[in-house]
Chains A and B, each alone.
Chain A
Amino acid sequence: MKYALYLGCAIPIKYPGFEAATRLVCERLNVELVDLPFSCCPPPTSMKLVHYDSWLALAARNLCLAEEQGLDLLTLCSGCVNTLKEANHILKNSDSKRRRVNKFLEGHNHRFKGTIEVTHILDVLYQDTVVEKLLHEKVRDIPLRVGCHYGCHYFRPPKVMYPGELSDAESHVPVKMDHLLSIIGVEPTEYSRKFLCCGSPLGANMDQDAGYSITRQKLEYIHERNIQALSVVCPSCFEQFDMGQIVLARKTKEKRRIPTFYLTQLVGLALGLSPKDVGLDVHRIKPKKLLSGIDVA
C-alpha cells in the first residue's frame, strides 16, 4: 500500500506533530508514503470562493504530480481532501474544464489524465487490511469517552466526497471515525448537532467572534454528554477547538476544558507510541491528566 502523501499547509507548518504521528502510524501499519513537491491545495474556503479557475488549476497541478508517479493521493486535512477530491471529480467528468485546465498547466509539463483517486487518512486506516494490521499491532486500549468531529469538508457534498457509499438516508452522515476508534478501545460518544460546523472558516475569513460562537455551541453539546476528549481529522477544526476553548474561556469563564486529538495521535497511542512521539506536548489544552488517568505516559 503506497500513497503520495499530501501534507497541505496547516499540518506541516502549524501542527507538525500530526505529521509526525501520521508518519509513525503509517510506518507501523505498512502504509508507504511518498513525498512530492506539492503546493497549497488550495482551500475550498478561500481560493475557490475568490477565483474558481485558479482553484481548479492549482488543485489539478497537485493531482498531476501524484498521477505522474502513478500513486493515489493521501490527504490529512478535510479542506485538502475536499478540494482535491472535488477537483478530481470535476476534471474527470468535464471535458471542457479538463481542456481548459490543461492549457494552464502545459507550460510546466503537466497534463491531467484522471488516473488516480484522492483519499483521506481516515479512509485509508478504515480499510480491512489496515484494520487487521492495527488489531495485530495494537498494544493497548484508549478507554476514553471521545466525541468525533468529522469536519464538514471531509464529507460534504456526499455525492462527491463519498460516492458509492451512500446509504438510503437522504441526509448522509459519516461513521468511519467512530467505528475506527472503537477498535482501539475508545468509547465513541454521540452528541447533539454532531455534524455542525466547527466555525473555523467563518472566523478565518470574516468574523473571529462569530466563528467561536459556533464552536461554543458545539462545546456545550459536547459537555452535555460528559465527553472526555475530541477526535478530529482536520487541522482547522483542531485549532478551532484547541485554541478556541482558551479564547472562549476569557469571556465565558468556562472552567471545563476538553483536550482535542488528531485521529492518528490516538491511533499512535494505541500502537504504543508516547504522547511526545505523537506531538501531544504542544497542544494548548494538555491531555496529560486525562492520559495519566488511563496510564498513558
Chain B
Amino acid sequence: MTIKIWKFFQREQLFECYQCARCTGSCPAMEVAPALGPRETILICLNQGHDRVVEDEKLWLCCTCNVCEDRCPQEIPICDLLVALRNSAARRGNIPIRLGMAIELLAKTGRSMIVHQLDEMRAHHGLAPLPPAPVDEVRDILKKTGLDEVIEI
C-alpha cells in the first residue's frame, strides 16, 4: 500500500528547489551524523520518488531545529515536508526505537516523562505533588485520531 504523504504538503513546492544547499549547509545534524539532509531529501523525492526516502532510516537523523526552512531562499516549507515524510515512514514501521518508546509512554501516562520519587523531589523545592494526568481522556483521543495505526497503544 502506498501511503500518500502529500496530504500534509503540496508536492508542487518541491519544484521550487534549485539545490543551492543552503539548507544542508546550515544543518547541524548533517555535520555530526550521516543524515539525509533536506537538499538530498528533496532531490530524491523529485528524481526517484518519495518511497526511497520513506524507507531510509537516515530520514530520522534530524534535530527538527527548522533552520533549513529559515534559510531556504525559495521559502519551501521544508519542515512540513519532513513531517509528512516521517509520518509516512512511521506508518510503514520505519521509526526509531527510542522514539517509539517515547510515544508509547505518552499514550500510557499522558506525559512524556517519568521519574521515581517525584513527590519527594517536588517537596524538596516546596512544590505540591503533581496531579495525575488525564490518562483516560488522552488515550481515548489518541484512539480516535488513529495513533494505533502506527504504534500499538
Contact = CB atoms under 8 A, between A and B. Distances in A.
The answer to whether A and B touch in the complex, with CB atoms under 8 Å apart, is yes
Interface string B138-151: 10111011110111
Contacts of A37: 131, 133-134
A195 B149 CA distance: 37
Interface string B118-153: 100110111100110110011011101111011100
Given A172-B70, A214-B28, A108 B137 contact: yes
A50 B112 CA distance: 14
Nearest to B132: A37
B64 interface: yes
Nearest to A105: B141
Chain B interface SS verdict (over half): helix
A19 B127 contact: yes
B65 interface: yes
Given A51-B87, A54-B147, A202-B61, A46 B102 contact: yes
B106 A40 contact: yes
Nearest to B105: A40
B43 interface: no
Nearest to B98: A205
Nearest to B68: A156
Interface in A53-96: 53-54, 57-58, 61
A156 B65 contact: yes
A17 B122 CA distance: 8
7 contacts: A10-B112, A13-B130, A50-B95, A61-B138, A104-B144, A156-B70, A277-B126
Interface of B: 8, 28-29, 31-33, 60-67, 69-71, 79, 82-84, 86-87, 90, 95-96, 98-100, 102-103, 106, 110-115, 118, 121-122, 124-127, 130-131, 133-134, 137-138, 140-142, 144-147, 149-151
Interface of A: 9-10, 12-14, 16-17, 19-20, 23, 35, 37-40, 42-54, 57-58, 61, 103-105, 107-108, 152-153, 156-158, 171-172, 195-197, 199-202, 204-207, 210-211, 213-214, 217, 277, 279, 282
